[in-house]
């Protein structure tokens, strides 16, 4: 049984559009991306304790050995950053219940960091302003601000500058994680090798227009991921997963972020379940169905 305390839930992210430019002087790549939060979640529980501790439990499809070691992971850094701006000691017991695939291009670590910021702010009764939380989130990682905001949003800069997008559609996805992770830095390095003359990132106009239509058939051809070529070059087997999903009835398959998770856009919930069943029959041990957009990091239990 989970210890009483504050529980915050944060969603996985996907990129409906991911335009990547050549690296900046600081080493980061300029991005134009359209984020969407979908209904796969990690829960972060925070309770009082004599010191600082972080423990992790995982869904049965996540190997515990893949979880970053405690002591210097992103949740440890989130706790330290929040404590520092308020001049207080970092004390508390954190338990992370992980369901978002690890190293899968779905920003599970960023979700955990966002949830930890919200949970610890409540636990320590700090009333940190939204602006300060967003600033802390941006310092922790490019995807962390969106994990706080949720819904659907346009991301620029290195992805940390987030602007909400009106999205009244209901989008259904089949999510096919890979048993082997794929390093985000390595995918970006391979992108640079493949596209040494990359200029400015591609704009997201097509996806934004498709979202306004609320029609999955309009969104499917607009989906775009500049990192997909690099990810597939490193992992050619993922192209077969995309092809199998589309053959099973998905409107469009694509790599999630830097991969290796494959996303399959479906017309509706029923089609998503049919496609998921077909992928399971084809031998994929883990096949998940999710919809979006959903809320960002939010309180689900307060005791």
252 is catalytic: no
Sheet holding 288-292, edge to edge: 252-255, 262-266, 171-176, 288-292
Q: State how far the Cα of 257 lies from the Cα of 142, in Å rounded to an integer.
A: 12
Residue 83 φ/ψ, nearest 5 degrees: -65, -40
121 is catalytic: no
From the candidates 143, 167, 226, 252, give the one annotated as an active-site residue: 143
Tell me the two tokens of residue 198: 């990359």
**What is the greatest pairwise CA distance in the chain?**
56
Tell me the two tokens of residue 254: 């694509």
Catalytic residue list: 13, 143
């Amino acid at each position: 049984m989970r210890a009483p305390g504050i529980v915050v839930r944060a969603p996985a992210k996907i990129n409906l559009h991911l335009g990547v430019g050549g690296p900046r002087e600081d080493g980061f790549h300029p991005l134009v991306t359209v984020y969407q939060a979908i209904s796969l979640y990690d829960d972060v529980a925070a309770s009082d304790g004599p010191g600082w501790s972080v423990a992790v439990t995982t869904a049965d499809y996540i190997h515990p050995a893949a979880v970053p070691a405690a002591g210097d992971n992103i949740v440890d850094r989130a706790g330290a950053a929040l404590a520092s701006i308020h001049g207080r000691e970092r004390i508390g017991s954190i338990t992370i219940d992980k369901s978002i695939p690890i190293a899968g291009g779905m920003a599970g670590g960023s979700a955990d960091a966002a949830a930890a910021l919200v949970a610890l702010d409540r636990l320590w009764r700090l009333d940190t302003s939204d602006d300060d939380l967003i600033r802390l989130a941006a310092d922790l990682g490019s995807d962390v601000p969106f994990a706080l905001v949720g819904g659907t949003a346009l991301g620029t800069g290195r992805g940390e500058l987030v602007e909400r997008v009106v999205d009244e559609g209901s989008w259904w996805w089949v999510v096919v994680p890979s048993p082997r992770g794929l390093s985000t830095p390595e995918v970006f390095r391979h992108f640079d090798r493949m596209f040494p003359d990359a200029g400015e990132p591609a704009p997201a106009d097509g996806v934004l227009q498709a979202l306004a239509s609320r029609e999955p058939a309009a969104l499917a051809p607009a989906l775009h991921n500049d990192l997909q070529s690099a990810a597939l070059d490193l992992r050619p087997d993922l192209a077969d997963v995309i092809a199998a999903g589309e053959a099973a009835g998905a409107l469009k398959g694509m790599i999630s972020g830097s991969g290796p998770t494959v996303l399959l856009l479906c017309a509706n919930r029923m089609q998503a379940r049919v496609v998921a069943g077909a992928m399971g029959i084809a031998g994929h041990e883990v096949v998940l169905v999710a919809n979006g957009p959903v809320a960002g990091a939010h309180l689900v239990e307060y005791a």
